[in-house]
Amino acid sequence: MQQFAESEPETVLAAQAQGAEGYWDLLGRYLDAGGNTAAMARSGYLSRPAL
């Protein structure tokens, strides 16, 4: 989790600098789900592969 927390904001910032949107929201939902991608997918009414 620490490695993710250190690396992911850099990826999000780079994507936003290139005009991508929605990554902060996605990261927030991941953290709200406690890092559980299955729970995150369910909360967004998605399958894990679609997420």
Question: Using one digit for the tens of pLDDT, what is the confidence trace for 19-43?
Answer: 988 888 888 888 899 989 899 999 8
The Cα 19–Cα 4 span in angstroms is 22
Per-residue pLDDT tens digits for 8-23: 678 778 888 899 888 8
Q: CA–CA separation, 33 vs 43, rounded Å?
A: 9
CA 49-46-6 angle, to 5 degrees, is: 65
Q: Count CB atoms within 10 A of the CB of residue 26.
A: 14
Tell me the residue type at 25. D
pTM of the model: 0.62
